[in-house]
Amino acid sequence: MSVATALRWRGGDLAPSLVLPLVALAALPTMSFSTWLTFTIAGIAMGMMLFLMASGLTLIFGLMDVLNFAHGAFVTLGAYVAVSVMAALAGWSAADSWWLNLAALLVALVAAILASGAAGLLFERIIIRRVYGAHLRQILVTVGGLIVAEQLIVALWGANPLSLPKPASFRGSILLGDVAIETYRIIALLLGLAVYVALHLVLNRTRIGLLVRAGVENREMVEALGYRIRRLFVGVFVAGTALAGMGGVMWGLYQELVTRAIGADMTVLVFIILIIGGLGSVGGCFVGALLVGLLTNYVGFLAPKLALGSNILLMAAILLWRPRGLFPVAKE
Amino acid sequence: MSDSSDRWRRRLDTLLSGDRPGGVLLDGLLLAVLVVLALTPFLFPGTRSVAVAARICIFVVLAASYDVMLGYTGIVSFAHTMFFGIGAYGVAIALTKFGVGWGAVLLGTAAGVALAVVLAAIIGLLSLRVRAIFFSMITLAVASLAQLLATQLRDLTGGEDGLTFSVPQVLTPGFRLIEGTVLGVRLDGRLITYYLIFAVALALFLLMLRIVNSPFGRVLEAIRENAFRAEALGYRTVVYRTLAGALSAAMAALAGALMALLLRYNGPAATLSFDVMVDILLMVVIGGMGTLYGPVLGAVVLVMAEYYLQPAMATVAGAVAGWPLLPALFDPDRWLLWLGLLFVLIVYFFPSGIVGKLREMRSG
Q: What is the pLDDT of residue B23?
A: 76
* pTM, full prediction: 0.87
Q: Which of B140, B149, B334 sits opposite A268 (nearest CB)?
A: B140
Tell whether the model's pLDDT for residue A35 goes beyond 50: yes
**How far apart are alpha carbons A158 and A145 in whole angstroms?**
19
Query: Is the pLDDT reported for residue B195 higher than 90?
Result: yes
**Contacting B residues, span 53-82, partner chain A, CB-CB under 8 Å:** 70, 74, 76
Q: Which H/E stretch holds residue A181?
A: strand A179-182
Phi then psi for B182, rounded to 5 degrees? -115, 120
Partner-chain contact A127 B339, CB within 8 Å: no
pLDDT exceeds 50 at position B349? yes
Residues 285-324, chain A: which have Cβ within 8 Å of B? Answer: 305, 308-309, 311-312, 315-316, 319-320, 323-324
Query: Ramachandran region of residue B18, left (φ > 0), alpha (ψ -120 to 50) or beta?
Result: left
| Distance separating alpha carbons of residues A233 and B315, to the nearest angstrom | 43
Interface residue B341 vs chain A (CB under 8 A): yes
Query: Which of B350, B358, B293 is closest to B30 using CA atoms?
Result: B293
Check if B133 contacts A (Cβ < 8 Å): yes
Interface probe with B: pick from A69, A127, A140, most Cβ of B within 10 Å: A140
For the stretch B87-110, pLDDT in tens is 999 999 999 988 888 999 999 999
Is residue A160 scored above 60 in pLDDT? yes
- DSSP strand pairing (A162-163 vs A257-258): antiparallel
3-state secondary structure chain B: CHHHHHHHHHHHHHHCCCCCCCCHHHHHHHHHHHHHHHHHHHHCCCHHHHHHHHHHHHHHHHHHHHHHHHHHHCCCCCCHHHHHHHHHHHHHHHHHHCCCCHHHHHHHHHHHHHHHHHHHHHHHHHHCCCCHHHHHHHHHHHHHHHHHHHHHCHHHHCHHHCEECCCCHHHCCCCEEEEEEECCEEEEHHHHHHHHHHHHHHHHHHHHHHHHCCHHHHHHHHHHHCHHHHHHCCCCHHHHHHHHHHHHHHHHHHHHHHHHHHHCEECHHHHHCHHHHHHHHHHHHHHCCCCCHHHHHHHHHHHHHHHHHHHHHHHHHHHCCCCCCHHHHCCHHHHHHHHHHHHHHHHHHCCCHHHHHHHHHHHC
Of B351, B348, B304, which is closest to residue A145 (Cα–Cα)? B348
- Interface membership of B129 toward A (CB under 8 Å): yes
The model's pLDDT over A253-309, given as tens digits with 9 standing for 90+, comes to 998 899 988 988 888 899 999 989 988 888 899 999 999 999 999 998 888 777 778
When the pLDDT of each residue in chain B is averaged and rounded to a whole number, the result is 88
Q: Is the pLDDT of residue A6 over 60?
A: no
Residue A85 has pLDDT above 80, yes or no: yes
Q: Is A307 helix (H, G, I), strand (E, B) or coil?
A: helix
Neighboring chain B residues of A308 at a CB cutoff of 8 Å: 144-145, 148
Amino acid (1-letter code) at residue B274: F
**Residue A331 touches partner B, C-beta closer than 8 Å:** no
Please say whether the beta carbons of A54 and A244 come within 8 A: no
If one compares A321 and A51, the residue with the highest pLDDT of the two is A51
Q: How many CB pairs under 8 A join A and B?
A: 99
Cβ neighbours of A137 in B, within 8 Å: 347, 351
Residue (of A179, A174, A173, A177) closest to A34 by Cα position: A179
**Is A159 in Cβ contact with B328 (below 8 Å)?**
no
CB atoms B341 and A140 under 8 Å: no
B343 and A130 in contact by Cβ < 8 A?
A: no
Residue numbers in A near B138 (CB within 8 A): 271, 275, 315, 319
At B132 the pLDDT is 72
Please say if the pLDDT value at position A14 is more than 60: yes
Which pLDDT score, from 0 to 100, does residue A332 have?
42
Nearest one of A89, A69, A70 to A81, comparing CA atoms: A89
> Contacts of residue B142 in chain A, CB cutoff 8 Å?
312
Name the minimum distance, in Å, from the CA of B88 to any CA of chain A: 22
pLDDT at A246 over 90: yes
* Average pLDDT value over all residues in chain A: 86
pLDDT > 70? residue A3:
no
Higher pLDDT, A249 or A59: A249
- pLDDT above 50: residue A217: yes
Mean pLDDT of A167-174: 82
Interval A286-300: pLDDT, tens: 999 999 999 999 998
- For chain A, percent of residues with pLDDT exceeding 90: 35
Which positions in chain A touch B274 (Cβ < 8 Å)? 264
pLDDT at residue A17, rounded to an integer = 80
Q: Give the CB-side neighbour count of residue A205, counting CA atoms within 13 A.
A: 6
Q: Does A137 touch chain B (CB under 8 A)?
A: yes
Nearest-CA distance B141 → chain A (Å):
5
| Res A101: pLDDT | 87
- Residue B364's pLDDT is 55
- Chain A 48-77, residues with CB within 8 Å of chain B CB atoms: 67, 69
Q: How far is A248 from chain B (nearest CA, A)?
A: 20
